[in-house]
Amino acid sequence: MASNPYRGGAAPYRSRDGLSTRTGAGSEEIQLRIDPMHSDLDDEITGLHGQVRQLKNIAQEIGSEAKFQRDFLDELQMTLIRAQAGVKNNIRKLNLSIIQSGNNHIMHVVLFALFCFFILYMWSKMFKR
């Protein structure tokens, strides 16, 4: 009697101790036989069903969180675009104001310096003995 490398004479499709497969007579059909000694498969299937349900809930929560964060980032990007437009507008107004005022600020600085020198000159003439 030749030794079969698979337990219980099952084909290589055997997945658990309670399941074994046989090929049909001359066809490519597979017959499945459930061993009544291992009836805990229903419990395992129920447990797997619960785990699949939990994973589905987690995936849905991840999807809703991703949607919330995407919406938040879109809103933040729009706010940033509006702020950049405001800053650009204010810079343009400042540049126009500087151009319109021309070189008046330089003239004011020169006049102030001349006024200070005049005061110092007068003060030195008054208190000179």
pLDDT tens digits for 90-125?
Answer: 999 988 887 877 767 778 889 999 999 999 999 998
Residue 20: its pLDDT value, please?
Answer: 54
pLDDT-based confidence at 1, cuts 50/70/90?
Answer: very low
- The pTM of the full predicted model, rounded to 2 decimals, is 0.43
Beta bridge partners of 34: 19
Give the whole-angstrom CA distance, residue 107 versus residue 74: 49
DSSP 7-64: GGG--TT--STTEEEEE-TTSS-EEEEE-TT-TTHHHHHHHHHHHHHHHHHHHHHHHH
Label residue 14 by pLDDT band (50, 70, 90).
very low
